[in-house]
């Protein structure tokens, strides 16, 4: 069992409260996933810049050393065990190479123009507090509370998984063909950092998107290629999508108003959202792709 929450804003007026709403939703889903939690939040982009979220320890000297190596000042925002670096997009490959060589202990949890991605082991409310999720603003965000079934309770096994720029996926369920799918994806250049089945689903979508599919098309084809139980919520730089397996094994409820689209594994995760009493509340149908996009 796991808990998923997601919030995609249609109204920019709610942007300053995105993090506080998501934090409340995550806390409610503790019963479904007390082991670990994580969230991806999409903020405003800065032209020509890439954000890289790092997870590790002893990172105080990292920005200075990386700046010296790149010959460019890298801005760093530390948040508990994570740190968000902001650097010119053109320098991202060199930054990755430097990190791989000099700080192999540090994991890159996500990177892109807008995405920041945080995950930790522990109670969801504690994790939200440690990263000050309530203080974060943005356009859309996806969170997950994990009760591990298929792999160990580790930070690396926590969701969301990000396998491509500005992409993230959270999953409730289990996949049965992830090993064979992984063997198909690795030769296509999709790299995985865990043995987790959900990361393979994320990698599959990354591969389809890199082949030119839209997010909705990528999810549609996943119905053919993925075997197992799943409710997915997926984020991209401007998009937000939901898909359930063909027998809708795992729970899902959504609410839509003029101001937002919200996802929860259970209704009570949505109960604190503004104007929820008048929202259109519905359960997504099995095997049907639901997708929303912001103008880029």
Partner 1 sequence: MTRVVDLQVSSRRTLNQALHDLPDQTNETHWTVRNPGGQHALAVGIDAPITVTIEGHAGYYCAGMNKHARIEIHGNAGVGVAENMMSGRVHVRGDASQAAGATAHGGLLIIDGNASARCGISMKGVRIVVKGSIGPMSAFMAQSGTLVALGDAGDALGDSIYEAHIYVRGRTGTLGADCCEKPMRAEHHAELRALLDEAGVDEDTRYFRRYGSARQLYNFHVDNAY
Query: Where does this chain bind partner 1 (CB under 8 A)?
Result: 247-248, 251, 253, 266-268, 271, 281-283, 285-286
Beta carbons within 8 Å of 37's beta carbon, 6+ residues apart = 26, 119, 120, 122, 123, 124, 127, 128, 143, 144, 145, 146, 158
Task: Give kind and range of the element (H or E) at residue 233.
Answer: strand 228-235
What are the φ and ψ backbone dihedral angles of 237, each rounded to 5 degrees?
A: -55, -40
CA distances from 76 to 18, 84, 93 (A): 22, 6, 17
Catalogue the long-range contacts made by 222-225 (C-beta closer than 8 Å, 24 or more residues apart): 223/287, 225/181
Task: Give kind and range of the element (H or E) at residue 109.
Answer: strand 107-112
Based on the residue annotation, tell me whether 46 is a catalytic residue of this protein.
no
Q: How far is the CB of 128 from partner 1 (least distance, A)?
A: 19
Judged by beta carbon, residue 192 or residue 267, the one nearer partner 1 is 267
Judged by beta carbon, residue 47 or residue 247, the one nearer partner 1 is 247
Structure tokens at 148: 């591990």
Q: Is 64 helix (H, G, I), strand (E, B) or coil?
A: helix
Give the closest residue to 15 by CA, choosing from 128, 140, 168: 140
Judged by beta carbon, residue 126 or residue 266, the one nearer partner 1 is 266
Determine which one of 2, 46, 168, 249 is catalytic.
2
Give the closest residue to 8 by CA, choosing from 154, 114, 85: 114
Cis, bond preceding 160 (omega within 30 deg of 0): yes
Structure tokens at 64: 């200075």
In terms of Cβ atoms closer than 10 Å to its own Cβ (0-12, 13-18, 19+), residue 281 is middle
Q: How far is the CB of 133 from partner 1 (least distance, A)?
A: 21
């Amino acid at each position: 069992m796991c808990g998923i929450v997601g919030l995609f804003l249609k109204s920019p007026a709610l942007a300053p409260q995105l993090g506080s709403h998501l934090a409340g939703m995550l806390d409610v889903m503790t019963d479904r996933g007390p082991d670990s939690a994580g969230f991806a939040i999409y903020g405003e982009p800065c032209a020509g810049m890439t954000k890289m979220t790092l997870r590790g320890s002893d990172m105080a000297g990292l920005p200075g050393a990386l700046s010296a190596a790149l010959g460019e000042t890298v801005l760093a925002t530390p948040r508990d065990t994570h740190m968000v670096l902001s650097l010119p997009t053109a320098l991202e490959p060199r930054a990755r190479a430097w990190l791989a060589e000099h700080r192999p202990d540090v994991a890159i949890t996500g990177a892109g123009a807008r995405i920041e991605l945080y995950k930790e082991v522990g109670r969801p409310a504690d994790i939200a507090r440690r990263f000050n999720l309530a203080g974060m603003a943005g356009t859309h965000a996806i969170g997950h509370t994990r009760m591990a079934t298929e792999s160990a309770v580790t930070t690396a096994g926590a969701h969301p998984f990000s396998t491509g720029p500005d992409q993230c996926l959270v999953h409730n369920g289990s996949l049965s063909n992830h090993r064979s799918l992984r063997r198909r994806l690795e030769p296509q250049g999709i790299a995985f950092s865990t043995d987790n089945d959900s990361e393979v689903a994320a990698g599959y979508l990354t591969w389809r998107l890199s082949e030119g599919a839209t997010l909705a098309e990528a999810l549609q084809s996943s119905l053919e290629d993925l075997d197992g139980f799943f409710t997915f919520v997926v984020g991209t730089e401007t998009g937000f999508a939901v898909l359930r397996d063909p027998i809708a094994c795992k729970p899902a409820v959504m609410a839509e108003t003029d101001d937002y689209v919200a996802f929860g594994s259970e209704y009570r995760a949505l109960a604190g959202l503004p104007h929820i009493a008048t929202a259109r509340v519905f359960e997504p149908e099995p095997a049907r792709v639901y997708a929303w996009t912001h103008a880029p």
